[in-house]
Amino acid sequence: MSVEYIDHMGNDDSVVRAARVSMDKSPELYTTEENARLIAYLARHGHEIPFAHTAITLRVRAPVAVRAQAFKHKVGFVESEISRRYVASTPGFFVPEFRAKAENVKQGSGELLDDKKQEQLRETYTAFMQGAQVIYHSFLDMGVAPEQARFLLPQGMMTEWVWTGSLLAFARFYRLRSDAHAQKEIQDLAHEVGAIIADLFPVSWKALTEVHYENQ
């Protein structure tokens, strides 16, 4: 999996400016420390709208199953995904480290399986995925429409999308998907996203992702 920075709009001052306009003030009238305290206050008390006056665009490469989880986050996001209706190249596939089924829960996973099982599972998994690639292209070669041939592709195949969202939207995604109860692969994706955005909006990102709302 990978996350690539494409573009962004705004910075921490954009959040402050959106908040202080209600009092007809601007960030330049206040010290850096005062503006940082305001950002922390907004996040802590759930005053989220100023954080939505921003945008971050990323290009993400991840398995179809991980993309499905990411796309559940709709508010504040738009996405454009590579289309197998138009692209006939061979899609890559993701090879995970295999984990045991979690005990006493209906979902989730436990510890990594031992090395011997990892090797056996990787061999079987890789053979299956490579077989799916071969069959996919055989259908295309027989004249099957790409929009139907893609039905053969498993959940572990890689896809790519351009993902644009507000700082607020990405922070919500991060808080939910970096949680220990989330699937490990989406946790990894969330941390990659967070590492990029933390450099773009350091004060706001810290405030939003470490917040405990006082009005809840």
Q: Which one of 61, 67, 150, 177 is the catalytic residue?
A: 177
b (16+ CB within 10 A) / e for 64-101 = bbbbebbeebeebbebeeeebeeeeeebebbeeeeeee
- Farthest CA pair distance, the chain: 68
Structural Rg of the chain based on CA atoms: 21
Question: Beta-carbon neighbour count of residue 41 at 10 Å?
Answer: 13
d(CA 126, CA 120): 10
Taking alpha carbons only, the member of 25, 58, 39 closest to residue 201 is 39
Provide the terminal-to-terminal Cα distance of the chain, rounded to the nearest Å. Answer: 35
Taking alpha carbons only, the member of 57, 60, 69, 41 closest to residue 176 is 69
Taking alpha carbons only, the member of 164, 167, 163 closest to residue 206 is 167
Known catalytic residue: 177? yes
Active site residues: 177
